[in-house]
Amino acid sequence: MKHIRLSIIGFGTVGQGLAELLVRKQAVLQQQHGLEVTLVSVANSRHGFIYCKEGLHIPTLLELTAAGRPLQEHPHIRHWQNALEGLQATGADVLAEATGTNLRDAEPGMSHIRTALSQGIHVITANKGPVALAANSLLQLAHQQQVQLRMEATVMAGTPVISTIREGMAGAQISTIRGILNGTTNYILSAMAAGRDYAEVLTEAQAQGYAEADPTADVEGYDALAKTLILAAVVFGQPLKPEQVAWKHGLSQLNCL
């Protein structure tokens, strides 16, 4: 049985979803993949970083989070207020980085990912910022450190577009990628194509949880911008700066310059 010590930094929708899956899929991971995953540390911005060498109890973590109580209430843990310091002090085999996307400087995710890779920790990330702004240098660092940096969840979340292109279509020469890269936008555009009004459909999408309360990143195109930067870097090996991508504000229609 292969044993992996996992750290999750960013314990919101994605981080908690991953933790839930680890519980739900525990038997499948063990029986079909010979893999045992121990969640040794978790961090959010309000409560900081908690660590337990023997493994955190995921149902307790989820209950604490759902009740809005501090993660430090988990028994037998060590605590750091700062996730970076906690990770540096404790280590892991794999870091799942799931803090919020920020396209200005990609922090705090950039520091979490760089630190982990530098410490020889494999990284999987859903955070678009670091990969959008520095995919190639992060991949180079991962290569130097002989660890993996995986970013499938940054583009089209559960649909494996990056590995399909990089691995499944290895050897093919990709000349163009076209598509609607943002789920909220896709929902709204589909409804508008059926004659519905933009504002009405946005309100409906928010009520149903497809759109954020603040939909700016989705409907103004910033989310699609980040995904375009990631695809340009990892599919075409062409690192672009945000200002090299043109888009029409209002709904995410992007054209690479």
Ligand X SMILES: NC(=O)c1ccc[n+]([C@@H]2O[C@H](COP(=O)([O-])OP(=O)(O)OC[C@H]3O[C@@H](n4cnc5c(N)ncnc54)[C@H](OP(=O)(O)O)[C@@H]3O)[C@@H](O)[C@H]2O)c1
Give the nearest distance from C-beta 152 to ligand X in angstroms.
Answer: 10
Question: Binding mask 25-54 vs ligand X (x if CB under 6 A, - otherwise)?
Answer: ------------------xxxx--------
The reply on whether position 221 binds ligand X by CB under 6 A is no
Q: How far, in Å, are 32, 108, 213, 214 from residue 82 at the CA level?
A: 36, 11, 28, 27
Task: By CB under 6 A, name the one of 126, 139, 201, 230 that touches ligand X.
Answer: 126
Angstrom distance (rounded) from CA 4 to CA 24: 17
Angstrom distance (rounded) from CA 206 to CA 204: 5
- Burial (CB < 10 A; 0-12, 13-18, 19+), residue 195, is exposed
The reply on whether position 83 binds ligand X by CB under 6 A is yes
> Which among 29-37, 85-93, 149-157, 235-243 is the span making contact with ligand X, rule CB under 6 A?
149-157
CA torsion sign, 83 to 84 to 85 to 90? positive
> Which among 13-21, 173-181, 194-202, 241-249 is the span making contact with ligand X, rule CB under 6 A?
13-21
Strand partners, 97: 9, 125
Q: How far, in Å, are 53, 238, 240 from residue 244 at the CA level?
A: 45, 11, 6
Both structure tokens of 1? 């049985």
The reply on whether position 160 binds ligand X by CB under 6 A is no
The reply on whether position 252 binds ligand X by CB under 6 A is no
Give the nearest distance from C-beta 222 to ligand X in angstroms.
Answer: 10
Give the three-state DSSP class for 228: helix
What is the separation of C-alpha 45 from the centre of its chain, rounded to a whole number of angstroms?
16
> Which among 11-19, 29-37, 55-63, 163-171 is the span making contact with ligand X, rule CB under 6 A?
11-19
Nearer to ligand X, 115 or 154 (CB): 154
Using the 8-state DSSP alphabet, how is residue 99 labeled? P
The reply on whether position 185 binds ligand X by CB under 6 A is no
Using the 8-state DSSP alphabet, how is residue 12 labeled? S
Nearer to ligand X, 63 or 200 (CB): 63
The reply on whether position 89 binds ligand X by CB under 6 A is no
The 10 Å Cβ neighbour count of residue 154 is 25
Nearer to ligand X, 131 or 165 (CB): 131
Nearer to ligand X, 92 or 153 (CB): 153
Angstrom distance (rounded) from CA 240 to CA 6: 32
Catalytic residue, candidates 2, 25, 227, 241: 227
> Which among 6-14, 21-29, 69-77, 174-182 is the span making contact with ligand X, rule CB under 6 A?
6-14
- Annotation marks residue 241 as catalytic: no
Binding site for ligand X (CB under 6 A): 9-15, 43-46, 83, 98-101, 108, 126-128, 153-154, 157
Which residues does the annotation mark as catalytic?
A: 227
